[in-house]
Amino acid sequence: MVGASVTLPLPANVLYDKPQQLIFDKIATFIGANGSGKSTILKSIFDAKLKGTVYEGYKVVCFSSGQNESYSKNFGEYLNSERQKKNALNLDCFFYDKNWSVLLIFLATITKPDGLVRAFLKRNKYVIENDFDEDESTSLSFRVKVDKGYINVVSQALEDEQKGDINVITNRAYHQTLNSFINSLINKDYDFSQPLELTDIHIKQEDLSKVSFESDGGEAFDTRVMFFTQAADNDYFIVKNSFKLTFKHNDKEITLEDLSDGEYQILFLYSLIDLFDTESTLFLFDEADSHLHYKNIERLWDAFSNVYGLVITTTHLIDSITKAGIERLRVIEDGLIKSGNNLKHLTERLGDLSKISNVKFQAISFFKSVVLIDDENDWEQFKILAVRKISSNLEEQLKIESNLSNILAIKCSSGYQGLGNDVFAKSKIKWLNNFKEFLIGHTYRTKNIFLICDRDELPIQRLGKSQCSLLLKNDSVKKLILI
């Protein structure tokens, strides 16, 4: 899917009651004011996938930086439904809140030696590896149990099997893996004839190698991820809030809780990518960059850019917007992706992110070509007249119109009143000089800035004189058009 344009249908959401389409290339980034509906759109995608009404062929993985009760509730109901249908190991839609993060980070480091989580731990000296690149130091502790309800389910399954029904839970991958897990790591003689009392266990990578993680065939992801997801949901076998993850740092043990919020969050995000990234994965990351140091924001966007799947993310941080790139940004308002003059919507929103003028300059520097004009409506008229003037061929006109539409129009008065020693276009020239000063030391894409000025009050004979000296300069980012 890399490099190919994707058209994704978007269901109606609580703020906008009509379907939409999102056309993007691998990554789309939603920006907008608080309450604009960025998260609402992501939620509508997730809920539609849970219902199985759209996104066939996609595996959806969702992350939210906040504790979203609706996501958790709906995902829990989905797991229960799939478990009843005996399909829990074939899940293709996931939402993991903070309670799951400990498990996912552990699974990522032991299953993906070349993954993002392991690389982060190695970079920060939080892991010890052996000669086979196995994680020897990271450990996970938690409590497990088998309650009376599950014993009854097993007992009934055995009875049904004796009557000839082979599609019973005891013949499914989850139960067979559970049996191997308990016999290998807890009690080799356990047979599900009675409940298993709450038991504390402590595992490392080498311990999980003793467990046979069975497959029903067609699993969307690693069988270890599938097993632990079902086992920990609703404390089915594992007591989810008992997870504790321990690393080794300078010969001392530290826990996940000892790390900063930013370190924890990027490890959580890395684990999702490590465990779930495929060409058919659709990641929904809601403000994934919150709490992150700017260096980790850069690393996160590097990770986004290298995933095999698709990414839809939301943000309000200028650091992320800079990394995202202007072509990936979509302005959201009342649950609607703004269309039409998208460049205008983008600069208006980006300008609102901060009262510092440099923020708007940074946003503008994403664009290759910029035009300063007294009134934005004049730019629309200018485009029409320019197209007609340059060519009468319809195909050429469409091409010219497309090229002109990629130029960002910014309202800026000329500031010329025809009085005394007034310099024509002085306000535009001042804006231009301030912008050029801002670009020093910054990465930017801007190549041309066009100044479109009204010449009504400027006598023709003054062109090229002191009142309009701009025409005398040979500067690749200064072009003056008089209308």
433 domain residue, yes or no: yes
Q: Out of 127-131, 226-230, 358-362, 381-385, which region has the weakest mean confidence (pLDDT)?
A: 358-362
Q: In which band, very low, low, confident or very high, does the pLDDT at 181 lie, cut at 50, 70 and 90?
A: very high
Quote the pLDDT of residue 469. Answer: 53
Question: In which residue are the tokens 């552990």 written?
Answer: 106
Handedness of CA 158, 164, 165, 166 (dihedral sign): positive
pLDDT > 90: what percent of the chain? 41
Q: What pLDDT, in 10s, does the model give residues 124-147?
A: 999 999 999 999 999 999 999 999
Q: In which band, very low, low, confident or very high, does the pLDDT at 13 lie, cut at 50, 70 and 90?
A: very high
Average pLDDT score over the chain: 83
Comparing 2 with 146, the larger pLDDT belongs to 146
For residues 327-332, give the mean pLDDT: 86
Kindly tell me if the per-residue pLDDT of 471 is higher than 60: no
Quote the pLDDT of residue 483. Answer: 40
Burial class (CB in 10 A: 0-12, 13-18, 19+), 388: exposed
pLDDT > 70: what percent of the chain? 84
Q: Out of 191-200, 302-311, 392-401, 410-419, which region has the weakest mean confidence (pLDDT)?
A: 410-419
Domain that holds residue 448: 369-482
151 domain residue, yes or no: no
Q: How is residue 33 annotated by DSSP?
A: S
428 domain residue, yes or no: yes
Whole-angstrom distance, CA of residue 328 vs CA of residue 331: 10
427 domain residue, yes or no: yes
453 domain residue, yes or no: yes
Bridge-based pairing state of the strands 310-314 and 27-31:
parallel
475 domain residue, yes or no: yes
Quote the pLDDT of residue 8. Answer: 94
Kindly tell me if the per-residue pLDDT of 444 is higher than 80: yes
Q: What pLDDT, in 10s, does the model give residues 149-159?
A: 999 999 999 99
The winner for highest mean pLDDT among 39-43, 295-299, 422-426 is 39-43
Give the helix/strand (H/E) hosting 38: helix 38-51
Contacts of 142 by beta carbon, 8 Å cutoff, 6+ apart: 200, 201, 238, 239, 242, 243, 244
Quote the pLDDT of residue 355. Answer: 42
Comparing 9 with 295, the larger pLDDT belongs to 9
Six token digits for residue 111: 């299953």
Kindly tell me if the per-residue pLDDT of 440 is higher than 80: yes
Distances, alpha carbon 279 to alpha carbons 2, 55, 218, 228, 288, in Å: 9, 14, 16, 23, 21
Quote the pLDDT of residue 89. Answer: 54
Quote the pLDDT of residue 66. Answer: 66
Q: In which band, very low, low, confident or very high, does the pLDDT at 482 lie, cut at 50, 70 and 90?
A: very low
Q: What pLDDT, in 10s, does the model give residues 258-296?
A: 998 888 999 999 999 999 999 999 999 998 888 787 788
Whole-angstrom distance, CA of residue 374 vs CA of residue 412: 5
Kindly tell me if the per-residue pLDDT of 87 is higher than 60: no
The winner for highest mean pLDDT among 89-93, 301-305, 464-468 is 301-305
Quote the pLDDT of residue 144. Answer: 97
Closest-CA residue to 89 (of 208, 237, 224, 271)? 224
Closest-CA residue to 432 (of 473, 368, 367, 477)? 477
**Count of structural domains within the chain:** 1
Q: What amino acid is encoded at 86 in this protein?
A: K
Q: In which band, very low, low, confident or very high, does the pLDDT at 434 lie, cut at 50, 70 and 90?
A: confident
Q: Are 100 and 275 in contact (CB under 8 A)?
A: no
Burial class (CB in 10 A: 0-12, 13-18, 19+), 231: buried
Question: In which residue are the tokens 């998260």 written?
Answer: 39
Quote the pLDDT of residue 211. Answer: 96
Quote the pLDDT of residue 468. Answer: 54
Q: In which band, very low, low, confident or very high, does the pLDDT at 186 lie, cut at 50, 70 and 90?
A: very high
Closest-CA residue to 28 (of 311, 318, 369)? 311
Bridge-based pairing state of the strands 139-146 and 238-249:
antiparallel
For residues 363-378, give the mean pLDDT: 83
Q: In which band, very low, low, confident or very high, does the pLDDT at 68 lie, cut at 50, 70 and 90?
A: low
Q: In which band, very low, low, confident or very high, does the pLDDT at 377 lie, cut at 50, 70 and 90?
A: confident
Quote the pLDDT of residue 312. Answer: 96
Question: In which residue are the tokens 């072009």 written?
Answer: 479
Kindly tell me if the per-residue pLDDT of 455 is higher than 80: no
397 domain residue, yes or no: yes
Quote the pLDDT of residue 463. Answer: 54
Radius of gyration (Cα) for the chain, nearest Å? 29
Comparing 381 with 305, the larger pLDDT belongs to 305
